[in-house]
């Protein structure tokens, strides 16, 4: 129960931050990505702030064995950059540039009733399902 409430609170704070920062607005995101046109640099500050928070949080997390809720720490174990990571990042960037959404803001916009977000989230879930099928077949081979 404690874990579920903490997860709900973290999700609400994250979603609220996405709305306040403009990250859930695809036009704002596409304006940020349009460096050759009417570039809107405001999201660079949002990303910079997020990176700073992440760096500090990981620095604290590396020194702990238990989370603040008392669970074992589970930090990423892989640090190498491989072909799958690069291709996944490229696919993510292309999708972000086409739709103006990434997963978090897409879900926030879906919750706000935006039709474009419904299309994006449907495509995102379909992509995840296709990936799972490919991975299962790959593991069998």
Sort 17 into a burial class: Cβ within 10 Å, 0-12 / 13-18 / 19+. middle
User: What is the per-residue pLDDT for 25?
Assistant: 86
User: What is the per-residue pLDDT for 82?
Assistant: 92
* pLDDT beneath 70: ranges in the chain: none
pTM: 0.75
Domain that residue 54 falls in: 2-140
User: What is the per-residue pLDDT for 79?
Assistant: 82
- CA-based end-to-end distance of the chain: 40
What helix, strand, coil percent values describe the chain, rounded to 5?
70, 0, 25
Domain count, the chain: 1
CB neighbour list of residue 97: distance below 8 Å, 6 or more residues apart: 30, 33
Q: Which DSSP string corresponds to 32-44?
A: HH-TTSS--THHH
User: What is the per-residue pLDDT for 32?
Assistant: 87
User: What is the per-residue pLDDT for 21?
Assistant: 85
């Amino acid at each position: 129960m404690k874990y579920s409430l903490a997860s709900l609170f973290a999700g609400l704070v994250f979603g609220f931050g996405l709305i306040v920062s403009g990250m859930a607005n695809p036009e704002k995101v596409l304006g940020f990505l349009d460096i050759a046109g009417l570039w809107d640099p405001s999201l660079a500050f949002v990303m910079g702030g997020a990176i700073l928070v992440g760096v500090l949080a990981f620095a604290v997390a590396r020194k702990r064995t238990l989370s603040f809720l008392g669970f074992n720490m589970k930090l990423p174990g892989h640090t190498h950059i491989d072909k799958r990571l690069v291709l996944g990042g490229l696919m993510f960037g292309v999708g972000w540039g086409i739709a103006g959404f990434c997963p978090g803001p897409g879900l926030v916009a879906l919750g706000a009733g935006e039709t474009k977000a419904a299309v994006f989230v449907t495509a995102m879930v379909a992509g995840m399902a296709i990936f799972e099928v490919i991975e299962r077949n790959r593991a069998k081979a």
